[in-house]
A and B are shown apart, each in its own frame.
Chain A
Amino acid sequence: MGKLYDTLKKDVRFTEGLKACLNCGTCTAICPAAEFYPYQPRIIVDILQTKDEEQIESLLKSDTIWYCGECMSCVTRCPRGNAPGLLITVLRSVSQEMGYFVESEKGRQQLALKRTVGEWILKYGYCLIPSGITPENHPEQGPVWEWEHSHLPEVMDRLGANYKKTGPGVLRKIPEEDLEEVRKIFDETGGTERYRKIEDYSAKKAEELGLQLDDTNDNEYFRMIYTGKSDKPSTKNED
């Protein structure tokens, strides 16, 4: 067994997710990502089953592992009790731990996720915040959201929220002492270290590509990974 396979195997989700694949392809047939991307969960599981170090490294550096939507539809259907979607979570973890994620266009997007959802968890205690879902970045949210977004305190109040206020309720301000506990959990369990690795590897990649990257979400590298292809500067999605 190779080093990468051993690393994957240490994760309990790997043990849970990979029993013995018979290559029937049922997972690919049910997979929403397989309809949209050049993606086949069957092949992922097959590669892992080979334990081939070279193929696994190539997978960890590829766009392929980032195509899955983690809907877990494959889990229901596998006749052998495998969970390709769960294996994807392990592959993505290891890809980030090893710094391989920056070698693919889709993998590089992890910085955008860390700087939005990831930071909001630590700063506010929520994965999403209304002020972060801007109409400019979310045109699909339509004119109702645009209206709501421009009157957030009033609309939230109308809908019975406790927006940014103390006490229980919708979108309350989560007390600082509770946020501090969440941050300590991140420190204790590797969350803080994961965030640091995403930042550090991304900074190196930005330098390698000759792209500007700073602490904000308004720079060349961030705009590219968030909106389009990363191999040339652009502010629009060229897919």
Chain B
Amino acid sequence: MKIEGKKRIWQDYQKEIADDSYFYVRSCVRQNFFPASEKIFLKILKEELFKDIYENASHTTCSGIGYHSDVVPFETTMTIIARQFALMTEAGYENFVSSCITSFGLYSEVLETWNHFPEVEDRIREHLLKATGRQFNKPKNLAHASDVIYKFRKEIGERGKFRLINCKSGKPLKGVEHIGCHYSKMFPSKGIGGAEYPYVLVGMIEEWGGEVIDYPERRHCCGFGFRQYLVKANRGYSIACSKKKFESMEPYHPDFILTNCPGCPMFLDRWQYAISEMEGKTYGPDGQGIPVLTYEELAGLILGYNPWDLGLQVHQVPVEPLLDKMGIPYNPETKFLGKNGEDLGRPEAPSFLHFYPETK
């Protein structure tokens, strides 16, 4: 059958995602700020979907933040990435899954570079052998962790206990999605839906009952900018980018923001707090912020996991308004307790952003 028009164009924006047997590498940013998300990703893959996913304790950073801060040379980053591939090869895997978007973009860039310049690949192989004695095969399949959740979004939805539906009105909850820039802006064919119509998060929201809001600055960067955030003097760049997005999405009254990049949920969460402190401005109703979620956190909520096991207590913008709308039960008294119920105190309430029920 001849595929015509839009169908044919849309076909160009699909990507193959392996069905099973994944080699998993972690994200530096997410391990610091969203440690539970990576834990939940592995739990969903292993315990809900019964997939084989393996992590080797010897893997390290891909050096991506150092590379994009321009202190680590490309040659060095390529060889560190080659070492990650060697660990995958030695473990007998062929499907590489990255938790990080910066890493995913870099893995894509490195493979593309080697494709265009085979002599560079040869040189990196020599570097790796000389430095570590290791050799590697390139992955047969490269995916970002959000690709994998997207692939199994129906299965997760079917097993789910909650949906993105307002439990009082019965209407779909409204979400804005924010895709990490390095997911598909550099290599559109590597992302589901390409750079113009990324579908990876939209697919999850729609499958789980929600409605996606389109807004003018949907594709604008969150403002990480690497050196633009990491150096204190430059952070105005970072907050300005996030503010531009908040101002643009505010008129559509989103119930939540969904992200697939390590830095984006942190910036979209923290800069809401910083703007509230600087200007007294909040972007949700009644002094609330707009809750920001990782895709694993949202998948975990759909599956009925305890919000505090998902790490929602370490968000600066409280997620409780979304939990209330979805009808998800939670215990505010246990929010900031330790693993065995130990008292760890509580964070101070921000000046303006509604944080504790009693400060409303």
Q: A residues engaging B (CB < 8 A)?
A: 11-13, 16, 32-33, 35-37, 66, 68-73, 75-76, 83, 89, 92-93, 96, 106, 109-110, 112-114, 116-118, 121, 125-130, 133, 137, 139-148, 151, 154-161, 166-172, 174-175, 178-179, 181-182, 184-191, 194-195, 198, 225-229, 237, 239
Contacts and interface: CB of A to CB of B under 8 A. Distances in A.
Main secondary structure of the interface of A (DSSP, over half): helix
A11 B66 contact: no
B116 interface: yes
B94 to A, nearest CB: 20
A74 to B, nearest CB: 9
B318 to A, nearest CB: 9
A12 B78 CA distance: 13
A174 B283 CA distance: 40
A167 B65 CA distance: 24
A142 B116 CA distance: 45
Given A147-B336, A151-B338, 19 more contacts: A12-B113, A16-B113, A69-B237, A69-B241, A73-B219, A89-B68, A109-B233, A125-B61, A128-B65, A142-B274, A145-B270, A147-B348, A157-B338, A158-B338, A159-B39, A181-B134, A188-B79, A189-B76, A191-B75
Contact of A146 (B69, B338, B347): B347
B29 interface: yes
B79, B228, B270 — most chain A CB neighbours (10 Å): B228
A127 B71 contact: no
Nearest to A65: B70
B205 interface: no
Given A35-B240, A178-B60, A160 B227 contact: no
A171 B120 contact: no
17 contacts: A16-B116, A32-B221, A36-B236, A66-B227, A72-B185, A73-B181, A129-B32, A147-B344, A151-B338, A155-B338, A160-B36, A168-B55, A171-B31, A171-B32, A185-B132, A190-B75, A227-B232
Given A127-B61, A179-B60, A190 B73 contact: yes
Interface in B218-261: 219-221, 223-228, 230-237, 239-241, 244
Contacts of A128: 28-29, 32, 65
Contacts of B63: 121, 127
A113 B60 contact: no
A145 B270 CA distance: 10
B181 A71 contact: yes
A140 B347 CA distance: 14
B83 A181 contact: yes
Interface of B: 26, 28-29, 31-32, 35-36, 38-39, 55-61, 63-66, 68-76, 78-80, 83, 105, 113, 116-117, 120, 127-128, 130-132, 134, 181-182, 185-186, 188, 195-196, 219-221, 223-228, 230-237, 239-241, 244, 270-271, 273-274, 308-309, 311, 313-316, 336-339, 342, 344-350
A181 B59 CA distance: 11
Given A69-B221, A73-B185, A178-B60, A159 B65 contact: no
- CB-based closest 7 A-B pairs: A69-B225, A191-B76, A160-B39, A127-B65, A147-B347, A125-B60, A184-B131
B31 A37 contact: no
Nearest to B57: A168
A144 B316 contact: yes
A1 to B, nearest CB: 21
B73 to A, nearest CB: 5
A178 B58 CA distance: 6
Contacts of B76: 185-186, 189-191, 194
A227 B233 contact: yes
A188 B82 CA distance: 14
A155 B131 contact: no
B181 A140 contact: no
A237 to B, nearest CB: 5
Contact of A33 (B128, B225, B345): B225
Contacts of B60: 121, 125-126, 174, 178-179, 182
Nearest to A133: B32
A226 B233 contact: yes
A69 B228 contact: yes
